[in-house]
Structure 1
């Protein structure tokens, strides 16, 4: 890296710190910290939803798949996500928003105490939080590998640098800092992505490269199904990503909750779906064409680093690396914020009942301390992880394979068609899916990726539906909750949120509405007790 690259990278870190400090002025309550009280415009929510799905893993592990096997990486990853979000726009997005608007919910798991019961909520919360620790650790490793490749920074220092910066601006700025970082990431990624694409065109055959490169690439690089990717794996990923990216990955439910209304949350989902289908293909073109520029690489995870060093001038490499940082920090910040919400609103009040009695300022301080603690724990996992193969194992064999069993009771519980599916269906579905995953992961050495990813979510889905049909469970509170998510409240109509939202902290309206969902999730202030 040249001096100009370091200047660009340093400027990026200063901007991140500035975002955290600016966002702090907008954070008065835990509702501001976790959901911005529905003040985030739908287009910003949509961009944030889209960018929260990226991390440096794309430019390490997925770049390796593109280098080794070609365009198939687009079909099994971003295309399945884009289609899944498009489906979820009409099933889930508005319902997430109405949980906040009608019930004052700050955590995606808060409604589970009424929808099922407290034990079910706690089981899903603990298992999901444990999964996120490992998931985020893989992202720290990915950005550290990029730092080492570009700048020669040791892995430990790379993890520490990224983690401390993320910890700082998230603890100060909450969700506002997160979505603004996502927007900055969107701009940086656009500039760096087009710079890499145009540099590739200049190096090869100009714009004609888009259709001439396929004949020069190794055999099979133009095939949608190639290498380890099968049609079954693509279908399995489509099923998993539909649940994961519509709220099963809790931080993405927050994006819908933070929009001004349910109808606008649906628009943000459609925007995110469009971006997922179009933009990643532009990013993947240089990765797919990399064998023509830097041939003979044995370790495909280094391909994007070598491609950038070959094609990009000084300054742009720094911008590209800033983009990598932004990807990882935005995703980790997003995960950290929602995990903090779950711990603060769903877990801590059960373990330590006095948390319920914290003042509004005390709740906010507790949320910030939890953010720092969670990021620290995930960094500790990354420090001791073996980077060789760790990322792909986590992304596919652990996260993708276990996300379905954890998210199916959470997601299907929002829909009226499953209103008679109670705690038994949820727990059997969760336990059955994870048991199948454990047997495959530790007991079957030669199971394919299709089986590892698809079978746990399929078993979980079948068990949830079947148990609910065999043992239906009725509840007036459950029916009232589900029915309340069918349409927007009058005050959530377009424009109303902006007209009515006060600049200062609310008195007790959010807390009062939160009381419609009882349970440990919602610590009360003295004024609302």
Structure 2
């Protein structure tokens, strides 16, 4: 117990120290929200990765999908690395940086308002962010608290409150820069921790080959495989269709999440984008691939501890049960690992929520005159507010984590992904197309919550994203176009001439 406590004390002390160190970067709005748009590749890549993966992935998704799909759940991690990280950086990174800097946009709703010349779009987007980021924030505490209860026997409520307080302290003190530096430290912990944990768990099962052999003997309970053994070690697992839905939601979804896209606003230069692409992809392969690979062995840990009183599997209990037999030092590492993942994501979410509400809703609408200092102070107060709301929800959460995350990701990515992507590349995107995407993305998710027509909230989220990608161009082709002059002026930012070194390009005059 002493080892675990010491690790936690050191961890929290470092987080707070970074917040104090970063105070000088958080005096202006640009500094508090985007770190002055001068964040280097390592900090940006780790900020992207640690915001991506939290306790929701490590505890909720890895346990649930490892149990359902076996070793094929590793495909989710591969999809996260290739689509959610590599392709996101390649397709969105440079264009997002250039256009948002030209428009002087600090948030995603701000981008919609400036790109499409519509204040109502900006307000609607900020409302969607406000409503749907909160349940995602609440889901983070749930997974973390289960590990704390296993390791320290601390009541759930105290785990939630403790994590919220320390996250709030360093976000309020240092803003984006404190979050980015802490994300880097937390990311190092996550990388090392997941490798150690996988090795320890497999060693406890007699090694990799022994564990795979035992998994191959387990008959599947999915109807399409007729209960034949070997399904949980097959290439695409026992249920490829639903597995694909999870890959789409958790991978393509990042393209429309404001807390993820915001990392591209803050990046420093061309070199940072190229280097950050590689770092972010490797990070995702190790962390996400490692989490789902570990979860793929969930069936080997079938025990009464993972079932509720009605005999149903409690997915959020699977990973904590897998880790409960590890030595104390490894349990301490796991707790710090998941704490790192959770606090980094929580910090990113509350910073995104507070900046969006302040800059896109309160400023110029309810509060006409807001000085630079007052905007920063308002965001700091709203950080406290959002953390408090998420704690309130987390103290009485829904049945399991994946439900919360699926709803949040589905609504946000379903509404924002298509109009943001098309807005960066296609001059023909119209306001009506953006409104259609907002309505379809949120509509599919919300209607499915109350009148389920798609069995899984995760598949509903994936459907919302695909629907948006279809709806935006269709509606845009039949609705009034934006001013050609204004659109050409916006896209001219990509044609601006710059001078670079021979190290970056071998082109001759």
The TM-score by the shorter chain falls in which range? 0.7 to 0.9
Query: 1:259-274 residue pairs with structure 2 within 5 A?
Result: 259-262=267-270, 264-274=272-282
Q: Is the counterpart of residue 244 in structure 1 residue 245 in structure 2?
A: no
Paired residues of 1:197 and 1:282 also in contact (CA < 8 A): yes
Residue in 2 that maps onto 1:509: none
Q: Cα distance, 1:263 vs. partner?
A: 5.4
Q: Secondary structure at the match of 1:310?
A: coil
Paired residues of 1:420 and 1:472 also in contact (CA < 8 A): no
Gaps of 5+ in 1: 497-529
Q: Cα distance, 1:273 vs. partner?
A: 2.7
CA–CA distance in structure 2, aligned partners of residues 363 and 489 of structure 1: 34
Residue in 2 that maps onto 1:91: 91
Q: Is the counterpart of residue 112 in structure 1 residue 112 in structure 2?
A: yes
Q: Secondary structure at the match of 2:109?
A: coil
Q: Is the counterpart of residue 171 in structure 1 residue 172 in structure 2?
A: yes
Aligned residues: 484
Cα distance change on mapping 1:101 and 1:440 into 2, 3 Å = closer
Residue in 2 that maps onto 1:334: 348
Residue in 1 that maps onto 2:144: 143
Paired residues of 2:45 and 2:277 also in contact (CA < 8 A): yes
Deviates more, 1:83-92 or 1:178-187: 83-92
Deviates more, 1:112-121 or 1:443-452: 443-452
Equivalent residue for 1:348, pick from 357, 362, 383: 362
Residue in 2 that maps onto 1:507: none
Q: Is the counterpart of residue 194 in structure 1 residue 198 in structure 2?
A: no
Q: Secondary structure at the match of 2:114?
A: helix
How big is each residue's C-alpha offset from its partner over 1:83-129, in whole Å with a ceiling of 9 and x where there is no partner? 24322323211122124543433223322222221111111111122
Gaps of 5+ in 2: 220-228, 308-313, 505-509
Query: 1:55-454 residue pairs with structure 2 within 5 A?
Result: 55-65=54-64, 66-76=66-76, 78-80=78-80, 82-116=82-116, 117-206=118-207, 208=209, 212=213, 214-215=215-216, 219=229, 220-226=231-237, 229-231=239-241, 234=244, 236-241=245-250, 243-246=252-255, 248-262=256-270, 264-292=272-300, 295=303, 297-298=306-307, 299-311=314-326, 313-356=327-370, 358=371, 360-386=372-398, 388-389=399-400, 391-396=401-406, 398-417=407-426, 419-444=427-452, 447-448=455-456, 451-454=459-462
Residue in 2 that maps onto 1:35: 34
Q: Cα distance, 1:495 vs. partner?
A: 11
Paired residues of 1:243 and 1:411 also in contact (CA < 8 A): no
Q: Secondary structure at the match of 2:436?
A: helix
Cα distance change on mapping 1:435 and 1:284 into 2, 3 Å = closer
TM-score for the superposition, normalised by structure 2 = 0.86
Cα distance change on mapping 1:474 and 1:242 into 2, 3 Å = farther
Residue in 2 that maps onto 1:521: none
Over aligned residues, Cα RMSD in angstroms?
2.9
Residue in 1 that maps onto 2:311: none
Q: Secondary structure at the match of 1:421?
A: coil
CA–CA distance in structure 1, aligned partners of residues 148 and 502 of structure 2: 44
Paired residues of 2:205 and 2:211 also in contact (CA < 8 A): no
Paired residues of 1:56 and 1:142 also in contact (CA < 8 A): yes
CA–CA distance in structure 1, aligned partners of residues 356 and 415 of structure 2: 14
Q: Is the counterpart of residue 26 in structure 1 residue 36 in structure 2?
A: no
How big is each residue's C-alpha offset from its partner over 1:319-377, in whole Å with a ceiling of 9 and x where there is no partner? 21111111111001011112222122211114323343x1x333222221121122112
Q: Secondary structure at the match of 1:79?
A: helix
Cα distance change on mapping 1:446 and 1:260 into 2, 3 Å = closer
Deviates more, 1:280-289 or 1:147-156: 280-289
Q: Cα distance, 1:18 vs. partner?
A: 1.1
Q: Secondary structure at the match of 1:354?
A: coil
Paired residues of 2:76 and 2:292 also in contact (CA < 8 A): no
Q: Cα distance, 1:200 vs. partner?
A: 2.9
Paired residues of 2:215 and 2:300 also in contact (CA < 8 A): no
Paired residues of 1:134 and 1:378 also in contact (CA < 8 A): yes
Cα distance change on mapping 1:81 and 1:449 into 2, 3 Å = farther
Cα distance change on mapping 1:199 and 1:16 into 2, 3 Å = same
Q: Cα distance, 1:208 vs. partner?
A: 4.7
Q: Cα distance, 1:50 vs. partner?
A: 1.2
How big is each residue's C-alpha offset from its partner over 1:430-485, in whole Å with a ceiling of 9 and x where there is no partner? 1133323333332236635575233322332222111101114132223312331x
Q: Cα distance, 1:308 vs. partner?
A: 1.9
Residue in 1 that maps onto 2:15: 16
CA–CA distance in structure 1, aligned partners of residues 501 and 422 of structure 2: 25
Q: Cα distance, 1:172 vs. partner?
A: 0.5
Cα distance change on mapping 1:242 and 1:22 into 2, 3 Å = same
Cα distance change on mapping 1:176 and 1:301 into 2, 3 Å = same
Q: Secondary structure at the match of 2:108?
A: coil
